Amino acid sequence: MAARNLTPKLSRREVLGLGAIGAAGVAVALTGCSNAVSASAGGSGMLPQGLEIGPTSDVPVGAGRNFEVEGTKLVVTQPVADEFHAFSAICTHEGCVVGCREKIIKCDCHEATFNPVNGDPMSGPANSPLPSYAIEVKDGVIYTA
């Protein structure tokens, strides 16, 4: 009995088509591996001036509180009396919402922590600082500056 060649023959067009499908699959799979957070997730660090964020009395000394202003999630900290800082409340690692816990800004998704004074990453997987927002305090109320 003679041996038959069972290898299927693919046209050049079929090979290129399969290669394109494979490349698209790899691109989709790698999308979840990115450390980047889009600007829309946490804001650009800019908000219009004069927007009310909230009263200073809502932000405890040595801690912070989350606010939302015009759809932008913020975390405002007061590390020492009468010193306020505002940052995006969106983690730079994978976009989870952060909050103040035990005198630091923390992301509960992957345990990233950030400095409450400058937003710099302190531990965990995040390697970029939280975008900061300019603020001012007038008559016990925090506003965007």
Residue 9's pLDDT is what?
66
- pLDDT band at residue 3 under the 50/70/90 scheme: low
State pLDDT tens for residues 42-90.
345 789 999 999 999 999 999 999 999 999 999 999 999 999 999 999 9
This prediction has a pTM of 0.70
CA-atom Rg of the chain in angstroms: 24
Alpha-carbon torsion angle 113, 130, 125, 107, nearest 10: 50
For strand 113-114 and strand 104-107, is the pairing parallel, antiparallel, or unpaired? antiparallel
Q: Which domains are present in the chain?
A: 39-144 (2.102.10.10)
3-state SS of the chain is: CCCCCCCCCCCHHHHHHHHHHHHHHHHHHHHCCCCCCCHHHHCCCCCCCCCEEEEHHHCCCCEEEEEEECCEEEEEEEEECCEEEEEECECCCCCCEEEEECCEEEECCCCCEECCCCCCEEECCCCCCCCEECEEEECCEEEEC
